[in-house]
Amino acid sequence: MENGLHKTKQQLIQATSDLMDEVALEEINAAMVLERAGASKSSMYHFFEDFSDLLEATFLYRFGETVRISIYVIEKIIKNSTTKDEFFFALDRLTATTQARENESIRFMRARKLARSERSANFRSSLGELQQQLTDALTLAFAQAQEKGFLNKSFEARTGAVFIQAYTLGRIVDDITTTHMNDADWEKLIGRIAREVLG
């Protein structure tokens, strides 16, 4: 984690993030984090108001990483695609990854962050800034795709940027059901909408 943070603060956030990958969020407590980070309780309270503040900082760190990766991937698709077919083929592969059933934990974590922002004004503001970065980058990417003739101009680029994020997160409604839809059919529907409505 190279981001200009104090080493101990980095260790606390990284330890919390690692634990989030290993156990349920509700099971994580301050003692577990301090043991993993090799830090003292006083050091945690030096950098964070309380354990909840540390959790929020970790949420922001993890989402920030997601934002950076998402921006890199979509910019690479736009840059490397020379034809409309290449563009949509690359989107199909991206869809298969983001919509994969085994990635449901990513969708659940995203939903937790959004839910937490409802009751924490500071967290909502910080999360909103990162979300704005992602939407702005996707908006620019959509605009570039429109200029290259890959996407039509009948909708605003920002609308498309929000749409693609909405259906990605929206997959969670099927994650929690006992009877699941056909994954291939879902990906096929997204591809069809992309080509026939956005393309």
pLDDT at 186: 94
Q: Give the pLDDT of the chain (199 residues) as one tens digit per residue.
A: 555 668 899 999 999 999 999 998 899 999 999 999 999 999 999 999 999 999 999 999 999 999 999 999 999 999 999 999 999 999 999 999 999 999 998 899 899 999 999 988 999 999 999 999 999 999 999 999 999 999 999 999 999 999 999 998 999 999 999 999 999 999 999 999 999 999 8
- Contact in structure between 10 and 39 (CB atoms under 8 Å): no
Residue type, 50: D
In the chain, the domains with their CATH numbers are 1-48 (1.10.10), 50-198 (1.10.357)
pTM: 0.85
Q: How far apart, in whole angstroms, are the C-alpha atoms of residue 9 and residue 129?
A: 21
Indicate the burial class of 43 (C-beta count within 10 angstroms; 0-12, 13-18, 19 or more).
middle
Give the integer Cα–Cα distance in Å for 38 and 88.
47
Calpha distance 184→189 (Å, rounded) = 9
Handedness of CA 196, 140, 108, 120 (dihedral sign): negative
Widest Cα–Cα separation across the chain:
58
- The CA distance from 96 to 81, in Å, is 18
Angle (CA) 51 63 16, round 5° = 35
